[in-house]
Amino acid sequence: MEIIIQPTPEDCARIGGKMVDALLRQKANAVLGLATGSTPVPLYQELVRMRREDDLDFSGVTTFNLDEYIGLPGDHPCSYRHFMQQQLFNHINVRPERTHVPNGLAVDIKAECNAYESAIQAVGGIDLQVLGLGADGHIAFNEPVSSLGSRTRIKTLTQKTREDNARFFDSIDDVPRHCITMGVGTIMECRKLLLFAFGESKAEVIAEAVEGPIRAMVPASALQLHQNVKILVDEAAASKLQQRDYYKEVFSNKPDWQRAGREEH
Ligand code: F6R
């Protein structure tokens, strides 16, 4: 694991943007895995800026989002499809038919989940997956005690997650109780993982995920078994990491070209 600590979320987003840029320049038809929520917003703003100012080309890119609420149509203002359109897809030159978000209105949810897994396989897997971190340790919507080998499936959201996400809805009663989410196993098969976490509210859980034992109660801790994962955190989220001085030293000793994501860690 490589832990990169930066002063602000925007600094983390610039580094994440460089990694996406390096990937797309090396592989124009790359497959990007994307997340929703507040955390990836600075990264998406950076990608939109890079499209506008640096001509970053998304025309060959395919995307897969991690999850979607069950029961919300794609044009619902709180659906993750809508979020992605607003935050990213409408502002870059990705081809709409190559953007994938699970269908929260699917009648046969199991078939939808299996089809999602097959679609990922059909394009050769995900090159780079962006992840946020839930305060309860979830990645995507793999809530505590999710199987660490799980695949795309239906999950019940915890009360904590529904409370955390209520800020996007009129009231907590409107927050769906179920979602379709990629599994931990699905995420572990992505070739590169980029997990972002910002703010003091994520400090404890990031320390557990990165420095604690691997356990289903903290699904993000499974990332410790992945061979190419970068954790991008601001100072506030890093505040409870025991080894934070060491992580800073490692990063500051890297050459610029390596920091720009052009080398595997
Ligand atoms: C969203 C997702 C979730 C969020 C997590 C953090 O697609 O997969 O795991 O990344 O709930 O949410 P924020 O970023 O809003 O704190």
Evaluate whether residue 15 is within a structural domain: yes
Ligand 1 neighbours by CB, cut-off 6 Å: 35-39, 66-67, 132-134, 138-141
Give me the CATH number covering residue 48.
3.40.50.1360
Residue 263 confidence (pLDDT): 57
Q: Residue 154, SS3?
A: strand
To 10 degrees, the CA torsion angle through 233, 237, 243, 244?
60
The pTM of this model reads 0.96
| Residue 178 lies in domain | 2-255
Evaluate whether residue 264 is within a structural domain: no
Q: Which of 127, 143, 164, 234 is catalytic?
A: 143
What is d(CA 265, CA 78) in angstroms, rounded to the nearest whole number?
36
Nearest CA to ligand 1 atom 9: 140
Could you confirm whether 67 is annotated as catalytic? yes
Neighbour tally for 245: CB within 10 Å: 10
Interval between CA 24 and ligand 1 midpoint (Å): 24
Which atom, in ligand 1's list, is nearest to the CA of 201?
16
What is d(CA 59, CA 54) in angstroms, rounded to the nearest whole number?
14
Pocket test for ligand 1, best of 141, 160, 202, 233 (most atoms within 8 A of CB): 141
What is d(CA 261, CA 23) in angstroms, rounded to the nearest whole number?
8
What is d(CA 106, CA 36) in angstroms, rounded to the nearest whole number?
20
Nearest CA to ligand 1 atom 8: 140
Interval between CA 36 and ligand 1 midpoint (Å): 6
φ, ψ dihedrals at 71, nearest 5°: 100, -10
Q: What percent of the chain has pLDDT over 90?
A: 95
Residue 192 confidence (pLDDT): 98
Which atom, in ligand 1's list, is nearest to the CA of 140?
8
Which atom, in ligand 1's list, is nearest to the CA of 132?
10
Evaluate whether residue 87 is within a structural domain: yes
Evaluate whether residue 33 is within a structural domain: yes
Interval between CA 165 and ligand 1 midpoint (Å): 9
Interval between CA 128 and ligand 1 midpoint (Å): 17
The one-letter amino acid code at 42 reads P
Residue 265 confidence (pLDDT): 39
Residue 261 confidence (pLDDT): 65
Which atom, in ligand 1's list, is nearest to the CA of 142?
9
Evaluate whether residue 262 is within a structural domain: no
* Ranges under pLDDT 50 in the chain: 264-265
To 10 degrees, the CA torsion angle through 181, 184, 188, 190?
0
- Structurally, the chain folds into a number of domains equal to 1
Evaluate whether residue 134 is within a structural domain: yes
Cβ distance 105 to 97 under 8 Å? no
Could you confirm whether 55 is annotated as catalytic? no
Residue 254 confidence (pLDDT): 86
Cβ distance 50 to 88 under 8 Å? no
pLDDT tens digits for 44-74?
Answer: 999 999 999 999 999 999 999 999 999 999 9
Evaluate whether residue 215 is within a structural domain: yes
Evaluate whether residue 214 is within a structural domain: yes
